[in-house]
Each structure stands twice: as structure tokens, then as C-alpha cells.
Amino acid sequence: MHTPSREKIFQMFDSIAPTYDLVNRVMTFGLDQYWRKKLVRSLPNEGSLKVLDCATGTGDLVVAMMEGCPRITEMVGLDLAEEMVALAKKKIEGKPFASKVAWQVGSALDLPFADTTFDVVTIAFGIRNVTDVSLALNEFKRVLKPGGRLLILEAALPQNNILRSLHLFYLRHILPRVGGWISGAKSAYRYLNETIETFPSGESFCHLMRGAGFKEVEVTGLTGGVVVVYSGVA
């Protein structure tokens, strides 16, 4: 399988959908679920919440938020990849919160929602995949109510030189092999390390958020900085 252009990236995700969760658990040693729970702790701590989870994939962040924050009254999970959304739907069948969750196939670059609809917009391991990051940030700002919160969970490279070298070795040499072996699509996991290495992170990404009109922009590193949470207020 060749690495597709970013425009076609959702087709790549459709093709790896059946093994997506398993590869995540194996290649992060289960830490991916811990990172999602950390994002849940950054949700606003009062009032009822209407939340949009963009690039929801197989819905793991939706599940973490619905289980960790009972104040969420409405949740929409949106993704371009139909197969990922189908798995997300199946994942929450029979869960007590299922009736509060709606799923939508759509793009973060052209959100099918009116202005000022949501209290919170989240995106986990998704912003790196969109073709126009500033456009996506503008869309998040548009659909958030004034004072609403944007929370972004994303892979990054540690600041510490030793950790950074070790992590780069893992990303370049181990992760594509393990991901490729389980999913049968080595290029998908080569794509992962290439985008992590080139995507703007830390202060550069905070600058993009401020450019889209977000205030109180903060970045918090997790697990030595291999993952970061960005937070901003609309």
C-alpha cells in the first residue's frame, strides 16, 4: 500500500480501521487510553456540556469523555472515514450513554454545524492529518460558543535530547514494523512517524491557535513530551 496524499488520508484510515485500536494499544503500551483520560480532566469543570469530537476515528475519546464526565449532555463524533465511524457506532452500542451520542461522516475543514453550537471541541491524534490546519482551527473557533474550550491531543517529540533520540528511533524503526505487522499496512505507520516529525508543535502550534482567535492558549506535555495537550478558549 502506498502512502496516500493527505486529501486521501481518510481512505487509508478506512483500510486500517479493523486493526486500528489494537495497534494503538500495542504501540503505546496502553498509554493511548491514559492520554485520552488526561484530556478528559481538562474539560471545563462546571455546567452541562455539548461536545464535538472531531476526527473521532473509532470513538475512543468519545467513550473516555462520556465515561469520565457525566455533565456531557450531548456529544457528536465526526470523521471523514466511514469505516472508522461504523466501528465507533458499534463500540458504544448498549452503553448507558449511547442515546446522548450522535455520529456524523464529515470534514473538520467544513463542519456541518451552525456557528456557536458547542461548549467544547476536541480532536485527538487528528489535527496532524488535516490538509489545512489553520482552516480546521478557524472551523473549531466558529462552532464554539464564546468562552468555549478547544482541547487537542497530539503526538509530539520530547524536548529532552536523549528522550528525543530514543523516541525517534522507536518512531522510525520499531513502530512502522510493529504497526505494519499487525495491520498489514506498513506505509500507514511510516506515514505516522513522518507526520509527527514534521508537524508544528509546542509554541509554533500555540501560535497557529492564537492566529485562529483562541485565547489562554496552553500546552502540557505528557509522558516525557511524546504527547501534548493544547488548550484554548474561543
Ligand X SMILES: C[S@@+](CC[C@H](N)C(=O)[O-])C[C@H]1O[C@@H](n2cnc3c(N)ncnc32)[C@H](O)[C@@H]1O
Residues 3-22 that bind ligand X (CB under 6 A): 9-10, 13
Answer yes or no whether residue 230 interacts with ligand X by CB under 6 A.
no
Helix H or strand E segment including 150: strand 144-155
Interface with ligand X, residue 189, by CB under 6 A = no
Element (H, E) at 20: helix 9-27
Q: Does 80 bind ligand X (CB under 6 A)?
A: yes
Angstrom distances, CA of residue 68 to CA of 63, 95, 138, 160? 8, 13, 28, 32
CA pair distance 105, 72, nearest whole angstrom: 21
Q: Which of 23, 130, 150, 227 binds ligand X (CB under 6 A)?
A: 130
Name residue, grid cell 487537542.
152
Work out the burial of residue 123: count CB atoms within 10 Å of its CB; fewer than 13 is exposed, 13-18 middle, 19 or more buried. Answer: buried
Does residue number 125 form part of the binding site for ligand X (CB under 6 A)? yes
Contacts with ligand X: how many residues (CB under 6 A)? 21
Q: Which residue is nearest to ligand X (CB)?
A: 57
Q: How far is the CB of 84 from ligand X (least distance, A)?
A: 4
- Cα(218)–Cα(128) distance, rounded to whole angstroms? 18
Q: 54-73 mask for ligand X (x: CB under 6 A)? A: xxxx--xx------------
Instruction: Note whether 129 binds ligand X by CB under 6 A.
Output: yes
Toward ligand X, which CB reaches closer, 106 or 213? 106
- Identify which range of 74-82, 93-101, 156-164, 219-227 contacts ligand X by CB under 6 A: 74-82
Strand order in the sheet with 101-105: 101-105, 72-79, 49-54, 118-124, 144-155, 227-233, 215-222
Contact between 92 and ligand X per CB under 6 A: no
Choices 80-88, 94-102, 141-149, 214-222 (CB under 6 A): range interacting with ligand X: 80-88
| Cβ nearer to ligand X, comparing 5 with 165 | 5
The total of other beta-carbon atoms located within 10 Å of residue 99's CB is 8
Interaction of residue 155 with ligand X, rule CB under 6 A: no
The answer to whether the beta carbons of residues 155 and 222 sit under 8 Å apart is: no
Compare residues 25 and 164 and give the one whose CB is closer to ligand X: 25
Chain residues in the site for ligand X (CB under 6 A): 9-10, 13, 54-57, 60-61, 79-81, 84, 107-109, 124-126, 129-130
